[in-house]
Amino acid sequence: MQKITLASASPRRKELLILAGFSPEVVPSSVEEKITGADPSKAAEGLSRIKCLDVAEKKKSAAGRSVVLGSDTIVVLDDRILGKPKDRENACRMLRRLQGRKHQVITGVTIALVEDGSIRETDTFSSRTDVWVASMSEEEIRAYVETGDPLDKAGAYGIQGPFARFVEKIEGDYYTVVGLPVAAVYRHLKRFL
């Protein structure tokens, strides 16, 4: 398995990298996630970049060569970015807005090559998927929020968990919604390994 450094504590991203044949070393970024700008793709890419470069800076002192991957996922509804919910009520509000509608999920990815004490090269890109959520009753929304599942996820849901029963369809890459567009990551990583 190819070794890479994952600049994220997300167990989902780690699992996806293993699925793709990589052996990730997890070194979570310590930077504060702050969305800047109105363009959703640029926002996701920017967040992935600051996470990746934060960890790449730490890797500069290590001997040899390292490949660092940072990623961030955002949810967009009516051109507004929905981040992670602040609390359960905020999660309920987000889900009320998403239910019965289509929205977009964008995952930004940055890969950095660290070699001989410097960051030699970076590559940043994003992947977008449309998601349709079924109509949900207030009871269904509250029951889902009470599971705790949505509290650490952009848009207040995770497609791979109990929320799956409310996803009517997607158009695009499923793994983008989970948090890492595996095929695109593999294509981009090949030139760094």
Q: Which residues pair with 133 in a beta bridge?
A: 167
57's enclosing H/E stretch is: helix 40-59
72 a catalytic residue:
yes
Antiparallel, parallel or unpaired: β 80-82 and 118-133: unpaired
Other C-beta atoms lying within 10 Å of the C-beta of residue 39: 13
Of 41, 175, 44, 58, the residue nearest 112 (C-alpha): 58
Closest CA to 3 of 53, 73, 62: 62
Catalytic residue among 39, 54, 72, 123: 72
How far apart are the C-alpha atoms of 33 and 9, rounded to whole Å?
13
Q: Which active-site residues does the annotation give?
A: 72
